[in-house]
Amino acid sequence: MWDKWLADEDSVNALAPTGYDDHAVRTRIKELGQRLRGSLAIYEVRPSSTELYQDSTGLVEYRVTKGDSRPLAPTLAWILLSHFGDLATIKDCPDPELLGQIRSVLEDFGLKYIPYEYAASKIYNGLCKALVGFSWANRYFSLVVKLNTEESRDG
């Protein structure tokens, strides 16, 4: 199932699919943030700026802390969305109960949850030649995208 979801969202474009609608995506990010904050009321859920991810395969990240918004507060989980389709993942969440709560919100919102470790362990060999050889996590959820320089010069 996860391999199919990853392959179905693939594109020859490195950073965003053809027809990407920034306004619709920003609206959806706000709505998801509200749902996450409502469902995870004892936690602090803060999105990153979408400008941070504008030249990335990732779309936005939500940082989850234990009711503490200080920059150095311990992070309990990172929720990552992709510029491509409805893909989402959760990174660095050792608490299985919190992981399940977040996953439930993502899936109820219509997102396709891919375990981060799974995406990070699979080598990308898809349509975008500039990303071949790196991981599927780099393909869909990365802030700093690794590119094959030979392929990215060609287009």
Q: Which residues of 73-89 are buried (b: 16+ CB within 10 A; e: fewer)?
A: eeebbbbbbbbbbbbbb
Q: What is the pLDDT of residue 151?
A: 53
pLDDT digit of tens for each residue in the chain (155 aa)?
999 999 999 999 988 888 889 899 889 999 999 999 999 999 999 988 777 777 888 889 999 999 776 778 899 999 999 999 899 999 999 999 999 999 999 999 999 999 999 999 999 999 999 999 999 999 999 987 888 775 544 44
What domain range is 40 assigned to? 2-154
Residue of 84, 81, 61, 91 lying closest to 7 (CA atoms): 84
Q: What is the pLDDT of residue 75?
A: 93
Separation of alpha carbons 68 and 91, rounded Å: 19
Q: What is the pLDDT of residue 42?
A: 94
Report the Cα–Cα distance between both ends of the chain, in Å, rounded.
Answer: 31
pTM comes to 0.89
Please say whether the beta carbons of 91 and 116 come within 8 A.
yes
Question: How many domains, in total, are found in the chain?
Answer: 1
Q: What is the pLDDT of residue 67?
A: 78
